[in-house]
């Protein structure tokens, strides 16, 4: 219970009122009795000239450096302990590893380790010491420096951020990279939007989004050498933090930095200056050429190894500024430097305001002569940390898209006997802008995952369809057939004209950047028009859950089987099996299917065409779920009497893998009278 005071203290000493609030060093701070601690407690450490606060708990791992001076400011939680973060006088818990080639887990043995780490006091990035990672003149691919840290339970699965100071200017290229590893679940953790982030040849602060699974208790942060070159150099690291995202800022600023560009079209022309600086999301650069020998190759100059924001260039390029006079086709014109969004690693050259392709490209000897000098000033948009964060947050969202069709599509008909890409040209929604519409319509995966594609197309009326002629939809992955997702079979419609409908779904495992399109194929004998109705021709794309993060051994999320029978159906409620599917893993599944049938002769009696999904392959009902055609069938013209018995989606608990489902069908009459089963589908989708 607190002590009630009627007035304030009048302290007449130069000592703190509470002796816990100022200590001489980190050892003394960590030695404060746990019974005398409280969350939010602030302590000033004289040896560090810094304030620390207990954030999220009262253990020594909960000390967080305050961003402000004195007793104010807000604490920045750091999952890495202070001594391993500040690296002032020792390498502490940092160690080296050798994964012997491409990065594996940051825990490789040291049998052939060539890289070393030390505490350095000469090339200090902050305070009085930094971590020096020395790469000798040997192949160090897979060598690196690593720190292992625990993630407090309250922060697991939450968006965090890696930040550190770095001097990478001695690298041959961007030879080192940042990698993170989930020790608990034995898998890599993405930093930013990828699993590897290169360390640039510059001095500055790097900030990257970081998010491990909610089950990750321990993780590793690695500075990994990814190149096999034999150059000797060092990089320096300091102030390493892994912090909750809400407590860090994201602006990026640098001083004047230099780089060594490569050129094309300028031959042996001399290079006087190549320098740039970054302020927020703008890169300002300058290149000065001196006299030399130019060539007749396309003129290009490479840019610093910085990720540019090519989405800022809506016209495909950005005009920049050039100071210099060019002799182009005998005339004097001002030349403009162009950045092509499809090749953002180099600057190109052309007439002011022109595009950067075709005849607008200039050759080196069209821009300069051996006696001219040239100065290029340019401003480019770069991806700052906020954009990287936004992309990372977007990458955590579920990918969903739906597109439909109208007569403005680049493809309004399907040729006979030629698989053709369907242009679903109307965007209803697209969470990640993954679809490119047009004659080469395609979906590009924004990240690795399992994607479910559900598509439908309806072709216009015709009397040309003959019995057995197929109409199919097929998913193509990177230009090759992946799986048929729907099949409809033609029937004799000589006395009437009918729409033909095809629909279905499939699941495709995609890496980031892989492509899927849907192609239609029909063999009616002539080109068939697509019905101008967006409710009849459409596609949806949905990223499926990754069940391996929930402890599942496999990630099968869905499967389908399609086919044709072309034989008389079973009669008198005696069931015949059309197809089957085996579910490989335990879980909760959504299951559905259908069987399509038609008559080859006329009938006079009404009957039901019935379809069932069952775990029993026998001829009895023993069904899980039943589907029937919408109405009892009265056949007037048997040849055009085509109907489908749908089993609507239902949920099924599968307690163990290996469960087989059977799609069965029958009619209620004792005679077939020419009733023939045609196409069928049986599908399941894992939902939990």
Sign of the Cα torsion 287, 289, 293, 298 reads: positive
Q: What tokens were used for 461?
A: 């009326």
Sheet holding 558-568, edge to edge: 558-568, 675-686, 587-599, 642-654
Q: Measured between alpha carbons, how far is residue 160 from residues 47, 204, 459, 648 in Å? A: 29, 20, 51, 43
Q: What tokens were used for 546?
A: 């990754």
Sheet holding 609-614, edge to edge: 576-583, 659-667, 609-614, 625-628
Distance CA 320, CA 427 (A): 34
Distance from the Cα of residue 2 to its chain's centroid? 54
Report the candidate in 488, 478, 400 with the shortest Cα–Cα distance to residue 440.
478
The pLDDT, as a whole number, for residue 251 is 47
- The distance in angstroms from the start CA to the end CA of the chain is 51
Report the candidate in 197, 154, 259 with the shortest Cα–Cα distance to residue 383.
197
In this structure, what is the dihedral angle of CA atoms 67, 72, 75, 81, given to the nearest 10 degrees? 70
Class of domain 397-544: mainly beta
CB neighbourhood size of 158 (10 A): 15
Under 8 Å between Cβ of 163 and 80? no
Paired residues of 382 in beta bridges:
308
Architecture of domain 558-686: Sandwich (2.60)
Quick one: which H or E segment has residue 227? none
Distance CA 401, CA 442 (A): 12
- Beta-carbon-side half-sphere exposure of residue 453 (alpha carbons within 13 Å): 29
Domain ranges of the chain: 19-72, 84-247, 257-381, 397-544, 558-686
- 3-class DSSP state for residue 257? strand
Angle at 239 between CA 176 and CA 242, to 5 degrees: 80
In this structure, what is the dihedral angle of CA atoms 311, 313, 315, 316, given to the nearest 10 degrees? -80
Q: What tokens were used for 194?
A: 């990828």
Mean pLDDT for each 10-residue chunk of the chain (688 residues)?
62 74 86 86 84 83 64 59 84 89 80 80 88 92 92 82 88 86 86 66 81 86 90 92 63 66 74 72 76 75 75 47 38 51 68 43 68 70 59 66 92 93 92 90 88 90 74 92 80 58 84 92 90 91 66 51 61 70 81 73 64 75 46 39 69 81 74 62 76
Fold of 84-247: Jelly Rolls (2.60.120)
The pLDDT, as a whole number, for residue 340 is 58
Number of residues in the chain: 688
Distance CA 657, CA 32 (A): 55
Distance CA 151, CA 185 (A): 13
Q: What tokens were used for 385?
A: 């940390």
Distance CA 688, CA 183 (A): 25
The pLDDT, as a whole number, for residue 223 is 94
CB neighbourhood size of 206 (10 A): 20
Angle at 258 between CA 253 and CA 260, to 5 degrees: 140
Decide whether 84-247 matches 257-381 in CATH topology.
no
In this structure, the strands spanning 130-135 and 143-150 are unpaired
DSSP state of 21: G
CATH number for the domain running over 257-381: 2.60.90
In this structure, the strands spanning 42-45 and 22-23 are parallel
Q: What tokens were used for 337?
A: 């430097």
The pLDDT, as a whole number, for residue 160 is 83
CB neighbourhood size of 188 (10 A): 18
Sign of the Cα torsion 242, 247, 249, 250 reads: positive
Report the candidate in 629, 406, 421 with the shortest Cα–Cα distance to residue 535.
406
């Amino acid at each position: 219970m607190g002590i009630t005071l009627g007035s304030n203290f009048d302290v007449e000493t130069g000592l703190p009122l509470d002796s816990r609030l100022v200590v001489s060093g980190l050892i003394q701070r960590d030695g404060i009795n746990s019974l005398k601690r409280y969350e939010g407690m602030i302590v000033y450490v004289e040896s560090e000239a810094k304030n620390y606060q207990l954030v999220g708990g009262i253990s020594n791992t909960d000390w967080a450096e305050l961003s402000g001076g004195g007793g104010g400011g807000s604490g920045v939680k750091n999952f890495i302990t202070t001594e391993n973060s500040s690296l002032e006088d020792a390498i502490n818990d940092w160690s080296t590893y050798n994964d012997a080639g491409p990065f594996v887990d940051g825990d490789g043995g040291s049998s052939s380790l060539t890289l070393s780490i030390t505490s350095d006091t000469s090339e200090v990035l902050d305070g009085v010491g930094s971590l020096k990672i020395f790469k000798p003149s040997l192949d160090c691919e897979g060598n690196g420096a690593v720190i292992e840290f625990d993630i407090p339970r309250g922060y697991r699965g939450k968006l965090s951020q890696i930040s550190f100071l770095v001097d990478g200017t001695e690298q041959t290229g961007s030879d080192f990279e940042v990698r993170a590893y989930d020790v608990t679940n034995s898998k890599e953790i993405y930093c930013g939007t990828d699993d590897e982030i290169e360390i640039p040849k510059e001095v500055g602060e790097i900030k990257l989004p970081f998010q491990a699974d909610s089950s990750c208790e321990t993780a590793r942060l690695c500075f990994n050498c990814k190149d096999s070159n034999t150059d000797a150099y060092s990089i320096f690291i300091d102030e390493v933090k892994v912090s909750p995202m809400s407590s860090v800022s994201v602006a990026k600023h640098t001083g004047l930095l230099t780089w060594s560009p490569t050129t094309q079209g300028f031959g042996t022309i001399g290079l006087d200056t190549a320098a740039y600086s970054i302020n927020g999301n703008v890169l300002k650069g300058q290149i000065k050429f001196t006299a030399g020998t130019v060539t007749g190759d396309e003129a290009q100059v490479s840019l610093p190894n910085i990720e540019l924001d090519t989405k800022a260039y809506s016209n495909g390029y950005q005009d920049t500024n050039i100071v210099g006079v060019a002799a182009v086709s005998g005339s004097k014109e001002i030349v403009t430097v162009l950045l092509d969004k499809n090749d953002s690693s180099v600057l190109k050259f052309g007439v002011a305001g022109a595009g950067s392709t075709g005849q607008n490209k200039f050759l080196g000897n069209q821009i300069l002569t051996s006696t001219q000098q040239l100065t290029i000033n340019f401003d480019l948009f770069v991806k700052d940390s906020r954009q990287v964060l936004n992309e990372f947050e977007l990458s955590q969202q579920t990918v969903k898209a739906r597109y439909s069709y109208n007569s403005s599509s680049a493809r309004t008909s399907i040729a006979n006997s030629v698989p053709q890409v369907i242009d679903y040209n109307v965007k209803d929604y697209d969470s990640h802008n993954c679809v490119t519409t047009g004659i080469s319509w395609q979906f590009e995966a924004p990240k690795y995952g399992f994607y479910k594609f559900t598509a439908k197309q309806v072709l216009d009326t015709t009397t040309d369809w003959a019995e057995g002629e197929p109409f199919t939809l097929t998913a193509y992955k990177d230009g090759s057939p992946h799986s048929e997702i729907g099949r409809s079979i033609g029937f004799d419609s000589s006395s009437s004209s009918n729409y033909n409908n095809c629909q279905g779904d499939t699941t495709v495992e995609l890496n980031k950047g892989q492509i899927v399109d849907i192609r239609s194929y029909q063999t009616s004998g002539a080109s068939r028009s697509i019905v101008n109705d967006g409710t009849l021709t459409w596609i949806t794309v949905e990223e499926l859950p990754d069940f391996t993060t929930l402890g599942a051994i496999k990630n099968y999320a869905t499967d389908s089987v399609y086919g044709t029978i072309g034989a008389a159906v079973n009669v008198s409620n005696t069931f015949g099996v059309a197809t089957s599917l085996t579910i490989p893993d335990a879980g909760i599944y959504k299951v559905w299917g259908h069987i399509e049938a038609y008559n080859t002769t006329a009938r006079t009696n009404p009957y039901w065409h019935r379809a069932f999904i069952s775990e029993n392959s026998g001829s009895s009902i023993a069904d899980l779920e039943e589907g029937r055609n919408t109405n009892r069938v009265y056949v007037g013209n048997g040849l055009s009497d085509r109907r489908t018995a749908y089993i609507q989606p239902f949920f099924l608990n599968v307690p163990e893998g290996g469960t087989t489902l059977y799609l069965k069908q029958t009619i209620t009459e004792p005679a077939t009278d020419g009733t023939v089963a045609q196409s069928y589908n049986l599908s399941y989708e894992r939902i939990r």
